[in-house]
Amino acid sequence: MKVQFTETALRDANQSLIATRLPFESFEGILTTMDKAGYYSLECWGGATFDSCLRYLDEDPWERLRKIRKACPNTKLQMLLRGQNLLGYKHYPDDVVRMFVKKSVENGIDIIRIFDALNDIRNIEVAVDETLKNGATASGAICYTKSPIHNLESYVRLAKQMEELGCQTIAVKDMAGILGPQEAYDLVKALKENVKLSVVLHTHSTTGLGPLTLQKAVEAGCDVIDTAISSFSGGTSQPPTETMAYALREQGYETGLDMKVLKEINDFFKPIKAEFLKEGKLNPVVLSTDTDALNYQIPGGMLSNLVAQLTAQNKMDKFEEVLLETPRVREDLGYPPLVTPMSQMVGVQAAANVLAGERYKNISKEIKAYIHGEYGKAPGEINPELQKKVLGDDKPVTCRFADTLEPYFEKAKAEIGDKAKSDEDVLSYIAFPAQAEAFFDKREEKAKNTFKYSIRRID
């Protein structure tokens, strides 16, 4: 019996605990050790890392990837990609998606985990196709959610579609940590019975179910589990790598992990965690167990957003009402999974409905775009009255939304001009225009200073 591990310390754990603020230099020193741990893969790029590099860390995300690649020649590097949204919040035209995937692989990525917030298969097609063309592994990710229209059958159907697209593995993505152990067992079993691909399980420890859920998933035949080195595990992050390896090894599973190396990695990350705690950049709240998500079926991150939003408006007395309104908005929208960007959109609309004292008096522009079909197909039926209110006599887009978009890569390249030194720079600019441009300017400034300095030295 065998089970493999994906280490999330550099991406999801970093993102879930400390808002992706780990600078490259902070973990550079442990990369060659991580390369020897025996992981199935190292999740180290994509998700919020790209944005964070440009916006907060003054780092070129592509450069970061190349450096990790160089330090970890023996481990598969993995990234998370939101299908046609890439790493952002809107749909990009196909030429941009293809170029982004191609450059990700060229710069060192081996495995691309691709998902769509609505589980609309059309929104991952192009990214999967390009991943395969470039010889990397395409992992189709199913966003796990609970609703009257989501069940084993619908998940198996989606997995089969992903298999047909050419995905080489299927990942179950439980972003809210609401997948229970028995549900995980049944889901993994159903997937293994119906598709020939390896199954990967991704969950979060938010509600405390994480380790139990992974354990039962492995018993059902799950091939790979996502975990985080213990000092960066738990709470809104993943279950701990060492603990899961220990427990599964006791049960007779071969993990391929070197426990001594894991200890070295953990010892390295411990003081980093302590520093983040000390500076207040790691809030102990995110490390604790929060079972509210089980009661409300609302991801933890979304709850804290709602609290922040209502507190800012001095309306916390409406919290319970907003919590009750949230599932109703979700139902009206055809039960989208509560993952970025839908989680934010549903939460904001629910609060607006309560605070205005009238449902859908104000409708956000994002919700309008969603109803217009700009995010893809709603999983279920959108409330016809709401649809009518937003669209009037217009028809929603029923084709793949990206088919309505003009190619953009060459246009963006012309737009940013000399500031972009490579196609990778152009992609950074397309993904986060203002942040990328500011980063390019600073880089230019730094280069000038270095140049002056070197002239002085020649003198």
* Closest CB to Co ion among residues 130, 226: 226
CB of 16 to Co ion, least distance (A): 7
Token output for 5: 């591990």
* Closest CB to Co ion among residues 67, 146: 146
Query: In angstroms, how far is the first alpha carbon of the chain from the final one?
Result: 67
Taking CB under 5 A as the binding criterion, the range among 8-16, 37-45, 58-66, 451-459 that sits at the site for Co ion is 8-16
* Closest CB to Co ion among residues 329, 342: 342
* Closest CB to Co ion among residues 141, 350: 141
Residue owning tokens 């959108």: 382
CB of 143 to Co ion, least distance (A): 10
Report the site for Co ion in 10-29 (rule: CB under 5 A).
12
Q: By CB under 5 A, is residue 120 in contact with Co ion? A: no
Taking CB under 5 A as the binding criterion, the range among 4-12, 48-56, 370-378, 426-434 that sits at the site for Co ion is 4-12
Q: Please name the residues in contact with 334: beta carbons below 8 A apart, sequence gap of 6 or more.
A: 149, 378, 379, 380, 381, 382
Count, residues near Co ion per rule CB under 5 A: 1
* Closest CB to Co ion among residues 12, 116: 12
Distance CA 42, CA 61 (A): 16
Taking CB under 5 A as the binding criterion, the range among 7-15, 117-125, 183-191, 425-433 that sits at the site for Co ion is 7-15
β-pairing, 169-173 with 198-202? parallel
Distance CA 300, CA 290 (A): 7
Cβ(11)–Cβ(64) under 8 Å?
no
* Closest CB to Co ion among residues 12, 325: 12
Report the site for Co ion in 300-319 (rule: CB under 5 A).
none
β-pairing, 41-46 with 77-81? parallel
| Cα 281-342-376 angle, rounded to 5 deg | 140
Distance CA 405, CA 397 (A): 12
Calculate the alpha carbon distances from 22 to 26, 31, 269 in Å: 6, 13, 11
CB of 80 to Co ion, least distance (A): 8
Q: Phi first, then psi: what are they for 155, rounded to 5°? A: -70, -40
Beta-carbon count within 10 A of 268 CB? 18
Token output for 308: 């922040």
Q: Please name the residues in contact with 91: beta carbons below 8 A apart, sequence gap of 6 or more.
A: 84, 85, 123, 374, 375, 401, 402, 405
CB of 12 to Co ion, least distance (A): 4
* Closest CB to Co ion among residues 12, 94: 12
Distance CA 22, CA 40 (A): 22
Residue nearest to Co ion (CB): 12
CB of 116 to Co ion, least distance (A): 15
* Closest CB to Co ion among residues 12, 424: 12
Q: Please name the residues in contact with 220: beta carbons below 8 A apart, sequence gap of 6 or more.
A: 184, 185, 186, 187, 188, 189, 192
Q: By CB under 5 A, is residue 174 in contact with Co ion? A: no
* Closest CB to Co ion among residues 96, 141: 141
**Contact string (CB under 5 A) for Co ion, positions 320-339, x = contact:** --------------------
CB of 339 to Co ion, least distance (A): 9
The binding site for Co ion (CB under 5 A) comprises: 12
